Copies of this chain bind each other. A is one copy, B any other.
Amino acid sequence: MTAQRLSPLIIDKVVSRALREDFGDAGDITTAATIPANATSTAIIAARKSGVIAGIDLALAAFRLVDPAVRISIEKDDGARVETGDIVLGIEGTARSILSAERVALNFLGHLSGVATATAALVDSIKGTKAKITCTRKTTPGLRAFEKHAVRCGGGHNHRFGLYDAVMIKDNHIAASGGIANALRAARAAAGHMVKIEIEVDGLAQLTQALDEGADVVLLDNMSTDDLKKAVAINNGRAVLEASGNVTVETVRAIAETGIDVISSGWITHSAPGLDLGMDFK
């Protein structure tokens, strides 16, 4: 896959904030005191565990915003699989700039590669089925756009980005609207023609209702694989069916093999451990 570059329009403010968080008002006082201003260095960022890379553009931005003169070669771009020891980035520039930007670059790269790696673990587990792995809105505040991107780097797909770009009707909405039919009709009347409507159902009876009202997507939360299979049969291709709940590397294949279309996981964004990456000077 060719990595899709993330626009500076979306990246730069977030990376600047992260750098300011690390620089404070006094800046990198260690480097200023101990490294000559004109010393130059060559460094690499390499993987210390195997995984999938995501966030290269944010790492690049960290170096660029500290010092536009730092030169970087991308050895493993977003979406690439890495093994322990693989070089991800080659870096040349003044030692001060490289050292000052290092931690922010690694914090983005490690976090997002962690998300990509967790996603890839689920994607790998269901290879050969037609199901897609998607994320949820259970993301780290302020980093959703990037975690969504990391999910794609890991081979997953994106669910809605927020409250604004798709309708998702859950039990409280159904209760407040007076039932599935009313909720779906209200949503259809209010939503524009470019907006998809998903509804969460708690059983097969509700599924039938939702399909009759023309839901675009139906969420089946915490259902047994037996029920999921029945749901697939009832649906018969009408709506997109999404399964969620208790999705792990161990359970996901069985869920996918029910014939479900989409499997969504909060874990890949809210609980993926960071991928261990480190910087070494030559």
Contacts and interface: CB of A to CB of B under 8 A. Distances in A.
Interface of A: 2, 4-10, 14-37, 39, 41, 65-66, 95, 99-100, 103-104, 106-108, 110-111, 114, 132, 134, 137-145, 148, 157-169, 172-177, 183, 186-187, 189-196, 198, 217, 240, 242, 261-262, 267, 270-271, 273-274, 281
A186 B138 contact: no
B26 A7 contact: no
Contacts of A166: 29, 194-195
A199 to B, nearest CB: 10
14 contacts: A4-B37, A7-B66, A9-B66, A10-B23, A17-B142, A22-B144, A25-B145, A34-B177, A103-B137, A111-B141, A111-B270, A134-B192, A157-B192, A160-B194
A65 B36 CA distance: 28
Contact of A193 (B111, B142, B261): B261
Closest 6 CB pairs of A and B: A24-B164, A271-B273, A18-B141, A33-B190, A25-B145, A26-B164
B164 A165 contact: yes
Q: Interface centre among A36, A111, A141, A169, by most B CB within 10 Å?
A: A141
A271 B110 CA distance: 10
A163 B24 contact: yes
How many copies of this chain are found per oligomer? Answer: 6
A107 B141 CA distance: 7
A66 B254 CA distance: 40
Contact of A34 (B144, B165, B176, B281): B176
A99 B137 CA distance: 13
Nearest to A106: B138
Given A2-B37, A29-B190, A34-B169, 10 more contacts: A7-B23, A10-B25, A15-B141, A18-B142, A21-B141, A24-B162, A26-B165, A29-B163, A106-B138, A111-B270
Contact of A240 (B14, B34, B174, B193): B193
Q: Interface centre among A9, A104, A114, by most B CB within 10 Å?
A: A9
Contacts of A111: 140-141, 270
A231 B209 CA distance: 31
A232 to B, nearest CB: 15
B138 A140 contact: no
Contacts of A141: 14-15, 17-18, 21, 104, 107-108, 111, 142-143
A167 B30 contact: yes
B242 A32 contact: no
A183 to B, nearest CB: 5
